[in-house]
Structure 1
Amino acid sequence: MMDYKKILVVIDPTSDVQPALARSAELARRSQAAVTAFLSIFDLSYEMTSILSSQEREAMRLGVVNQRKAWLADLLQPYLDQGIPIEHQVLWHNRPYESIIKFTQEGGFDLIVKGTHEHDKLKAVIFTPTDWHLLRKSPVPVLLVKDKEWPVTGNMLCAVNVACEDEAHLSLNGKIIQHANALAQQFNANVHLVNGYPGTPVNLAIELPDFDARTYNEAIQSQHVHRVHELANEYQIDSKFCHVQQGLPEDVIPEVAEQLNAELVVLGTVGRTGLSAALIGNTAEHVIDSINCDLLAIKPDGYKSPVS
């Protein structure tokens, strides 16, 4: 069973409302995990001031760090009052994602939790550069959180890739479902599987006059449905919770997530460079800019972070 025992929650320095902190506290309460609240800060103006000596600059940095530590302690107090122990750490670093990943590796954390921004007009989640770096480079699962409650008996959606039969993809599908199952047990949620399959390539229909597009589509659909149901059966998921639809994953996943009013989408990231290659099965990066719920990104076994 996938269990989170050490959770690192990334604090947003611009807000007193911290959905990631609330989610981490709830996870800790249900799984007896230890939580550390982490804040990475940097102000270039302190580094560029030529009239100050290095000692004076260091003193100013320390002053800012101590101010932030006091602010963070106030933020954590309500959780401490509830009996949820949360430690905190404030670091001065000019690249937040690097400081987060290094602190995660050095501290042996097994989950990073971070808030994301919602775009009011489109009701979509907007990811920051730090979010993208964490999704691609974090060696541990990353939970990106919106300010949306996880209801009791809610729905968690696993995006699986059954187009490839190599061991790496099969193993990653398994990890995605295991993480979702573990969370679903804690929150009494249902686990669903979603998969998008490609339609008929236009060039085939044009170049081959006798090509039967309907038969081709039915064969592809049947193959994907069979493989998704096999996966579901392996992890004791009811076949009625399998969603296989024609279309690109970046279209299908948000559609099904919205239909289910999902609280969480779980998918795999393979850590390649380039945004469009960041998600399993070449799912384009905007799949997660289109979902209106939390996202849990899982790395394949053996992944090594480029940040050391």
Structure 2
Amino acid sequence: MNNFHNILFVTLGTDHKAEGLKQAISVARNNNAKLKILILVPEMPDAMPDYRKQLDDLILTHTRNLVETASAALHGPHTPLNITYDIEGGSTAAIRIIQHAIKGKHDLVIKDADVRDGNAGFKALDMSLLRKCPCPVWLCRPIPDSRENMSIAVAIDPESPNASAHALSIRMLKLGRAMADTCNGTLNIISCWDLPYEAALRDSAFLSRPENEIEHHIRARAAEHREALQGLLDEAGQTDRQVVHHLRGIPEDVIPSLIRNHGIDVLIMGTVARGGIAGFIMGNTAENIVQNLTCSLLALKPDNFVSPVKTG
């Protein structure tokens, strides 16, 4: 696949989960990429300085054992990986992760999803990474199937308002195609449309229009959006082994529902401006979608995105 070359996997020193680590190792193998494991630990109290080295050694041994366990659980050839480790103590985890990503020139950050109660959405640390990390962020939930049976989807807006958002949509489609080729082979493409002011056209005493006129506008809007979508797919070279979900409705309603009903394992989407979905700005439509997801999320930003986190 070779879309990623320098991956950063983030874990807490007390983690016993191996799901995200399995996905990180699998992605690194499929991309022939370097993998750095950043272990975040609480800052040691000033009264306990002599315990820092001992504790770090124990945590590093624990993490290496998790890597061995995760590697053994994966199917396929066990290609040797270039894995390095770093342990860091302190607070402000999101800032430290992003600083590591920037300084190390990482092109992908992977961590286990910190999910809310009910298994939908993500907690504060994950949301900070989605908002501020300049490179793609992969938030992992458990995937029951082997990689060969994983289901990949990408959510796009074919009516992006600017060149950077359009380029991001093309990039997501190509990445989705490459990932699907290493999984079950089928790429699910999701795009949403609706007719603005439809309710007003039906129900308003001032705007109410005949039903046949409204249906005409609905068909015209669907055709317009579908034509734009097809043009985007053609530009990205998407021609086969795909299922296009041309959904009528509000993205934050219909996308999480489709994810659940179709058993999607990983959703690729944009997290700034309209790169993934109309109005997809963190804290707005995007937040409503993300907080209802029950699958792993791979979030990308436009190439011109500048993180507010400073490394100095």
TM-score (norm 2): 0.83
Given candidates 83, 91, 112, the residue that maps to 1:115 is 112
CA contact (8 A) 1:10 1:20 kept: no
**1:1-308 aligned within 5 A:** 3-43=3-43, 46=45, 52=47, 57-78=48-69, 83-117=80-114, 122=118, 124-148=119-143, 149-201=145-197, 202-205=199-202, 206=204, 207-210=206-209, 212-234=213-235, 235-238=237-240, 241-270=243-272, 279=281, 283-308=285-310
Give runs of ≥4 in structure 1 deviating > 6 Å.
none
CA contact (8 A) 2:271 2:286 kept: no
- Tell me: CA distance 1:192–1:138, structure 2 relative to 1, closer, same or farther (3 Å): same
- Tell me: CA distance 1:119–1:106, structure 2 relative to 1, closer, same or farther (3 Å): closer
CA contact (8 A) 2:18 2:70 kept: no
Q: Which runs of 5+ in 2 are unaligned?
A: 73-77
- Tell me: CA distance 1:242–1:79, structure 2 relative to 1, closer, same or farther (3 Å): closer
Structure (1 or 2) with the greater helix fraction: 1
Aligned AA (1:71)? H
Q: Which runs of 5+ in 1 are unaligned?
A: none
TM-score (norm 1): 0.84
| 3-state secondary structure, aligned to 1:7 | strand
CA contact (8 A) 1:65 1:92 kept: no
How many residues are aligned here? 294
Q: Distance in 2 between matches of 1:152 and 1:80?
A: 16
- Tell me: CA distance 1:95–1:281, structure 2 relative to 1, closer, same or farther (3 Å): closer
CA shift, 1:111, in A, is 0.5
Please identify, of 31-40 and 1-10, the stretch whose mean Cα deviation from structure 2 is larger. Answer: 1-10
Please identify, of 179-188 and 295-304, the stretch whose mean Cα deviation from structure 2 is larger. Answer: 179-188
- Tell me: CA distance 1:240–1:112, structure 2 relative to 1, closer, same or farther (3 Å): closer
CA contact (8 A) 2:253 2:289 kept: yes
CA shift, 1:156, in A, is 1.4
CA shift, 1:126, in A, is 3.6
